[in-house]
């Protein structure tokens, strides 16, 4: 995990922190400049990138460790990263936010659904949330080698267990913002519509679950 903050901060559990991960398709989550992150750091926040299994940060074995029926490993790694940030007093759960896009949005959403007590907020952009039916929409069928096939009984059980939509249950969820492109033809907005509605119905806490639909495709919008 790469943790970035302004020089000289005190680790006393009071720093707002953003945690981000991808963990899919063997992509390496390497550092890069972001004006949004720079502004966040300038205001005293902490930014952390978790290199979870499923990504390509440590070669093919690292990718295979979080692929297909092992996808829960990616979620477990992200949760472990969040627990580390809290235990080492970088932040506390109420000040820890998750961000993610696409497969990273799915990963973040799964962590929120499985461990809502660990996070204070989540911002999920164009996420892949219905993992039981993802192959039925647009180009979802081309991702079977990464996530598994719902038509295979073993892989379906694994998909059901990590699917954010299928994991929603009554709980005190953190404040959550879902953003999606209305005409996104890669990850269709129906994923966010269904997941947002399920979270709103299951929310037992005081925090909002909001959906923002933008009229431009997700591929045309700025990324974190």
Q: What is the structure's pLDDT at 215?
A: 87
pLDDT tens for each residue of 86-126: 999 999 999 999 999 999 999 999 999 999 999 999 999 99
Domains along the sequence of the chain with CATH: 2-6+17-212 (3.40.50.1820)
DSSP string of the chain, one letter each residue: -EEE--TT---SS---EEEE----TT--------HHHHHHHHTT-EEEE---BTBSTT-HHHHHTTSGGGHHHHHHHHHHHHHHHHHTTS--GGGEEEEEETHHHHHHHHHHHH-GGG-SEEEEES----TTTGGGSTTGGGGHHHH--TTSHHHHHHHHHH-HHHH--SB-PPEEEEEEETT-SSS-THHHHHHHHHHHHHB-SS--EEEEEESS-GGGS---
Residue 48, CA distances (Å) to 72, 155, 158 in order: 20, 31, 28
Mean pLDDT of the chain: 94
- Phi, psi dihedral angles at 73 (to 5 degrees): -60, -40
Strands 46-49 vs 2-4: parallel, antiparallel or unpaired: antiparallel
Q: What percent of the chain has pLDDT over 90?
A: 90
Tell me, what's the pLDDT at 29?
Answer: 83
Report residue 217's pLDDT band, with 50, 70 and 90 as the boundaries.
Answer: low
Assess whether pLDDT exceeds 50 at residue 23.
yes
Residue 134 has pLDDT above 70, yes or no: yes
- The pTM (predicted TM-score) of the whole model is 0.93
Q: Encode pLDDT of 150-161 as tens digits.
A: 999 999 999 999
Q: How far apart are CA 168 and CA 174, in angstroms?
A: 13
Residue 17 burial (CB count, 10 A): 23
The predicted pLDDT at position 223 comes to 43
């Amino acid at each position: 995990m790469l943790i970035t903050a302004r020089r000289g901060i005190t680790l006393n559990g009071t720093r707002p922190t953003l945690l981000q991960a991808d963990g899919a398709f063997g992509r390496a989550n390497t550092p890069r400049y972001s004006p949004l992150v720079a502004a966040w750091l300038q205001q005293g926040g902490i930014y952390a990138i978790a290199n979870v299994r499923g990504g390509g940060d440590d070669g093919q074995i690292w990718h295979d460790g979080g692929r297909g029926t092992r996808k829960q490993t990616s979620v477990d790694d992200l949760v472990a990263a969040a627990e580390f940030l809290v235990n080492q007093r970088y932040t506390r759960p109420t000040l820890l936010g998750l961000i993610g896009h696409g497969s990273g949005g799915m990963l973040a959403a799964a962590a929120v659904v499985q461990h809502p007590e660990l996070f204070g907020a989540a911002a999920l952009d164009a996420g892949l949330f219905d993992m039981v039916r993802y192959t039925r929409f647009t180009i979802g069928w081309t991702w079977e080698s990464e996530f598994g096939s719902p038509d295979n009984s073993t892989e379906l059980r694994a998909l059901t267990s990590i699917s954010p939509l299928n994991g929603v249950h009554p709980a005190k969820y953190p404040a959550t913002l879902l953003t999606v492109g209305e005409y996104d033809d890669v990850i269709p907005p129906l994923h966010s519509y269904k997941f947002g509605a399920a979270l709103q119905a299951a929310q037992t806490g005081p925090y909002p679950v909001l959906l923002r639909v933008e009229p431009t495709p997700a591929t045309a919008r700025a990324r974190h």
